[in-house]
Amino acid sequence: MIITKTEKYTHIKPAQNSFYDFLNNFKKYYIEFIDQHLIIDFSENFNINIEELTLFLKLSIQHKKNGTSFVLICNDININDTPDEIAIVPTFTEALDILEMDAIERDLGF
């Protein structure tokens, strides 16, 4: 995993060649990221499908319960076919927008 931390979020890019290798590695270290706003970036590494992305659904829901954001970047997915409980966007800029919107929702008590 390639991890970049800022004051506002942690950006994670897979360094593995396989989605499942990345997922297993991510889950292994997830406890280190549980209180951080996460952007997981699949835009460059490998083709990924909706079924694979939904494997992050429980983590996404847990993150939201903890008051933190969880966003996946994937540019080849029809977002209308994904569950509403998981934020999937096509670009890094849109991921930052989601973080900002989530912060506003938390400030408003949603």
Q: Please tell me which residue, 109 or 10, carries the higher pLDDT value.
A: 10
Can you tell me the distance from the alpha carbon of 65 to that of 94, in angstroms, rounded to the nearest whole number? Answer: 22
Q: Each residue of 53-78: pLDDT tens digit?
A: 888 888 898 888 888 999 999 888 87
Sign of the Cα torsion 31, 32, 34, 35 reads: positive
CB 15 within 8 A of CB 48: no
pLDDT tops 80 at residue 109: no
Entry pTM: 0.87
- Going by pLDDT thresholds of 50, 70 and 90, the confidence category of residue 39 is very high
Domains and CATH numbers, the chain: 2-108 (3.30.750.24)
